[in-house]
């Protein structure tokens, strides 16, 4: 049972994920996204359930198996990063390694995440984006089977968000991780995920690639195109947002308030109603 | 001529009490801060009880318990050959009860003040609860540990009622500084009483000054480091 703002809610979920992929769990707040992630990590208990990772059973309530968090091979990036205030950046990464483990990955991660110059600082002296990179590096350091990210970018502004998505993608590919991340930000899901799960009121509303899952209507009356914002240009009484869709730049009119929500470089989805289209033969004239 | 023995005895009593209390209060505080059992509230109330109880009440019941004419005291006396009434070890045990809330209070508050995800984060990194406690939790509640230690030390130095009830005033055994002051006043040796009193006053003030300095230092360190 979930305790949400709207009272108790049942969380009932079953899904499979493939190794090496980047899976997004998307849904409104209160849908149970974070709870689901914490159950995978063993940080939240369930009434009943079954979790198997790479043939290893982590949870099986019928056989009373519930592997303790510390025995699950996971990396977890918390929403508020949960960095240890008493340790420097380098010490956080070293702490993450198992005892007597080869420490070679520490300098490697510091370089990859561009943290070398900050390695002797404590978290209180780091910006939000820097803390996020440390949290990510710390979660990866022990080379977990499963990397879990709990809305890791929600505390950051859009520009920083975009940059850090790069780091997540880079780390995911470089270390061939299996990654599950929670988000309520659709452009992020489009940009990062191979596959997405829509979570609504404690149930799965769909699973598939972001493009198929989030195509609003499938009966042909609307057209959904995905693209990336290239520029936001002010006009006299509003803004024009230019979106690059597979090479074609499509201008979209927007009010100042609407334009303020977007940043160049963001992946977006254009939704348009098709009103009585005419079909013409392709000719040169 | 001032007799240093009562002062030395006070310091010894307070030092031993503080070390034992720290060892006890860390696991106790950890459990009280993190357990989800309901009856822990009763334990918490019991821990704080000596703070509001008149020391003579505490001393009275300890006297009954330690007395060889009652079951527990008789058991200690007969089988273990331990006598706790009017002895230094008895004073130490009484001081443990008396100063427990002053050691445990700041430590419980320290544990509770830490973000809960710190413990969770350490677990996700494969660390045991003991490693998490030693490497992560304790270093981050250092000001609480220092406050707890200093407060229980100072509070034990100031102990009087409990000592009177179960310790009496045996020189070298139970005649601590606070009791010595009382004795000197009883014998109208006001100037001697004043010597002890001034020393205790200066000592208590220095201790509190140290606590506030340490906390101030850590608060500043938090914003700078």
ipTM of the complex: 0.80
- List phi, psi (to 5°) of B48: -85, -15
- Is the Cβ pair B140, A86 closer than 8 Å? yes
| Same domain membership, residue A125 and residue A73 | yes
B130 and chain A: CB distance < 8 Å anywhere? no
pLDDT in tens, chain A (285 residues): 555 555 566 778 888 888 889 999 998 877 888 899 999 999 998 888 899 988 899 999 899 999 999 999 999 999 989 999 999 999 999 999 988 778 889 999 999 889 999 999 999 999 888 999 999 999 999 999 899 999 877 767 777 788 888 889 999 999 999 999 998 888 788 889 999 998 888 888 888 888 888 765 444 556 777 788 888 888 877 888 988 877 778 888 888 888 888 888 888 888 776 666 677 776 655
Instruction: Give me chain B's average pLDDT, please.
Output: 89
Q: What's the start-to-end Cα distance of chain B, in Å?
A: 51
CB of A257 within 8 Å of a chain B CB? The answer is no
Inter-chain residue contact A74 with B117, CB threshold 8 Å: no
Q: For residue A284, is it within any domain?
A: no
Q: Which of B124, B127, B221 should be substituted to probe chain A, the one whose Cβ sees the most A Cβ atoms within 10 Å?
A: B124
Contact A72, A42 (CB under 8 A): yes
What's the rounded Cα separation, in Å, for the pair A195 and B112? 39
Residue of A139, A157, A156 lying closest to A148 (CA atoms) = A139
Residue B124: list chain A partners with CB under 8 A. Answer: 41, 43, 69-70, 72, 74-76, 139
pLDDT at A122: 94
Which residues in chain B touch residue A74, judged by CB atoms under 8 angstroms apart?
124
> Are both A173 and A248 inside the same structural domain?
no
Give the number of other Cβ atoms within 10 Å of residue B192's Cβ. Answer: 18
Query: Read out DSSP for chain B?
Result: ----HHHHHHHHHHHHHHHHHHHHHHHHHHHHHH---TTHHHHHHHHHHHHHS-HHHHHHHHHHHHSTTSHHHHHIIIII----TTSHHHHHHHHHHHHHHHHHHHHHHHHHHS-HHHHHHHHHTT--HHHIIIIIIHHHTHHHHHHHHHHHHHHHHT--HHHHHHTTT-TTTT--HHHHHHHHHHTT-HHHHHHHHHHHHHHHHHHHHHHHHHHHHHHHHHHH-
Q: From B55, B31, B18, B46, select the one nearest B153 (Cα to Cα).
A: B18
H-run or E-run covering A230: strand A222-234
- Of the candidates B124, B128, B140, which has its C-beta nearest A74's C-beta? B124
pLDDT at A217: 42
In a domain? residue A280: no
Put simply, the chain B residues between 55 and 94 with a CB less than 8 A from any chain A CB are none
Chains A and B: how many Cβ contacts under 8 Å?
A: 60
**A43, B120: Cβ pair inside 8 Å?**
yes
Closest of A206, A248, A256 to residue A225, by C-alpha:
A248
Same domain, yes or no: A36 and A84: yes
Domain identity same for A77 and A96:
yes
In a domain, A285, yes or no: no
Measure in Å the smallest separation between the Cα of B138 and chain A Cα atoms.
10
Of A83, A95, A125, the CB nearest to B225: A125
How high is the pLDDT of residue A250?
A: 86
Between CA B34 and CA B14 the distance in angstroms is 29
Give the model's pLDDT for residue B225.
44
The predicted structure's pLDDT at residue A21: 92
Q: Does A75 touch chain B (CB under 8 A)?
A: yes
CB-facing half-sphere around the CA of B191: CA atoms within 13 A: 2
Q: What is the pLDDT of residue B114?
A: 95
- A189 in the same domain as A87: yes
Residue B172: the pLDDT is 84
Kindly state whether residues A139 and A198 are assigned to the same domain: yes
A124 vs B125: CB contact, 8 Å cut-off?
no
Partnered with residue A53 across adjacent β-strands are A56
Compute how many other C-beta atoms are within 10 angstroms of the C-beta atom of residue A138: 29
Please identify, among A157, A177, A209, the residue that sits at the C-terminal boundary of a domain.
A209
User: Domain residues for A103?
Assistant: 2-209
Say whether residue B2 is in contact with chain A using an 8 A CB cutoff. Answer: no
Q: Do B125 and A96 touch (CB under 8 A)?
A: yes
**Order of strands, edge to edge, in the sheet holding A239-245?**
A248-254, A239-245, A222-234, A267-273
A78 interfaces chain B, CB cutoff of 8 Å? yes
Which residue is closest to B127 within chain A, CA to CA? A70
Q: Are residues A225 and A198 in the same domain?
A: no
Establish if A64 belongs to a structural domain: yes
Residue A281 lies in a domain: no
Q: Report the CATH number at residue A220.
A: 2.40.50.140
Is the same domain home to A224 and A241? yes
Q: Does the CB of A67 have a partner CB in chain B at under 8 Å? A: no
> Looking at the structure, do residues A222 and A205 belong to the same domain, yes or no?
no
pLDDT(B196) > 60:
yes
* Residues of B in Cβ contact (< 8 Å) with A72: 124
Residue of A nearest to B138 (CA): A86
Q: Chain B within 8 Å of A89 (Cβ-Cβ)?
A: no
CB–CB of B59/B68 below 8 Å?
no
Select from B126, B135, B139 the Cβ nearest to the Cβ of A70.
B126
SS3 A257: helix
- On whether residue A148 sits in a domain, the answer given is yes
Report the percent of chain B where pLDDT is more than 70.
97
CB atoms A142 and B140 under 8 Å: no
> Of A171, A189, A209, which closes a domain?
A209
pLDDT value at residue A109? 92
pLDDT in tens, B149-186: 999 999 999 889 898 898 888 888 889 989 899 999 99
Q: Are residues A148 and A184 in the same domain?
A: yes
CATH number at residue A110: 3.40.50.300
Q: Using the beta-carbon criterion (under 8 Å), do A70 and B136 form an inter-chain contact?
A: no
| Class at the top of the CATH hierarchy for domain B5-220 | mainly alpha
pLDDT at B119: 95
Beta carbons of A86 and B118 less than 8 Å apart: no
**Domain boundary at A209, A224, A246, which?**
A209
Phi/psi for A11 (5° steps) reads: -110, 110
Cα(B50)–Cα(B66) distance, rounded to whole angstroms?
18
Contacts of A242 (CB under 8 A, 6+ apart): A229, A230, A231, A232, A233, A249, A250, A251, A252
Contact A98 B126 (CB under 8 A): yes
Query: What residue segments make up the domains of chain B, in order of their start?
Result: 5-220
| Number of domains present in the structure of chain A | 2
Asked if residue A113 and residue A16 are part of one domain, the reply reads yes
A184 plus A257 within the same structural domain: no
């Amino acid at each position: 049972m979930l305790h949400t703002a709207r009272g108790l809610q049942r969380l009932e979920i079953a899904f499979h994920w493939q190794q090496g992929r980047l899976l997004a769990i998307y849904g409104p707040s209160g849908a149970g996204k974070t709870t689901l992630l914490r159950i995978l990590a063993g940080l939240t208990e369930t009434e009943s359930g079954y979790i198997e990772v790479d043939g290893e059973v982590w949870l099986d309530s019928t056989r009373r198996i519930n592997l303790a968090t510390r025995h699950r091979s996971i990396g977890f990036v918390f929403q508020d990063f949960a960095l240890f205030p008493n340790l420097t950046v380098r010490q956080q990464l070293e702490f993450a390694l198992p005892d007597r483990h080869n420490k070679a990955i520490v300098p490697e991660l510091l370089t990859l995440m561009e943290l070398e110059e900050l390695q002797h600082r404590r978290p209180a002296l780091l910006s939000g984006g820097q803390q996020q990179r440390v949290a990510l590096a710390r979660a990866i350091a022990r080379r977990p089977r499963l990397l879990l990210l709990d809305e890791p970018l929600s505390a950051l502004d859009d520009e920083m968000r975009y940059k850090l998505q790069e780091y997540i993608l880079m780390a995911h590919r470089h270390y061939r991780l299996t990654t599950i991340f929670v988000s309520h930000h659709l452009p992020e899901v489009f940009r990062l995920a191979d596959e997405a799960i829509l979570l609504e009121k404690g149930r799965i509303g769909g699973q598939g690639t972001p493009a198929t899952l989030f195509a609003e209507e499938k009966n042909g009356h609307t057209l959904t195109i995905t693209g990336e914002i290239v520029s936001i240009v002010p006009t006299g009484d509003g803004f024009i947002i230019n979106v690059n869709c597979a090479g074609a730049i499509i201008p979209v009119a927007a009010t100042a308030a609407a334009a303020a929500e977007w940043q160049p470089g963001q992946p977006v989805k254009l939704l348009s109603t098709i009103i009585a289209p005419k079909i013409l033969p392709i000719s040169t004239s | 001529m001032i007799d240093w023995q009562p002062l030395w005895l006070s310091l010894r009593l307070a030092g031993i009490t503080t070390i034992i209390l720290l060892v006890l209060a860390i696991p106790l505080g950890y459990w009280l801060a993190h357990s989800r059992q309901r009856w822990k509230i009763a334990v918490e109330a019991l821990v704080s009880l000596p703070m509001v109880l008149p020391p003579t009440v505490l001393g009275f019941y300890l006297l009954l318990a330690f007395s060889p004419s009652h079951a527990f005291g008789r058991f200690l006396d007969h089988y273990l050959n331990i006598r706790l009434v009017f002895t230094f070890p008895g004073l130490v045990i009484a001081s443990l009860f008396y100063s427990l809330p002053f050691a445990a209070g700041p430590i419980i508050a320290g544990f509770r003040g830490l973000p809960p995800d710190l413990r969770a984060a350490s677990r996700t990194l494969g660390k045991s609860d003991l490693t998490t406690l030693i490497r992560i939790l304790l270093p981050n509640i250092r000001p609480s540990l220092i406050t707890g230690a200093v407060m229980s030390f100072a509070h034990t130095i100031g102990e009087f009622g409990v000592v009177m009830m179960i310790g009496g005033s045996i020189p070298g055994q139970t005649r601590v500084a606070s009791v010595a002051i009382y004795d000197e006043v009883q014998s109208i040796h006001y100037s001697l009483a004043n010597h002890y009193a001034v020393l205790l006053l200066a000592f208590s003030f220095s201790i509190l000054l140290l606590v506030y300095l340490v906390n101030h230092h850590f608060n500043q360190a938090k914003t700078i480091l």
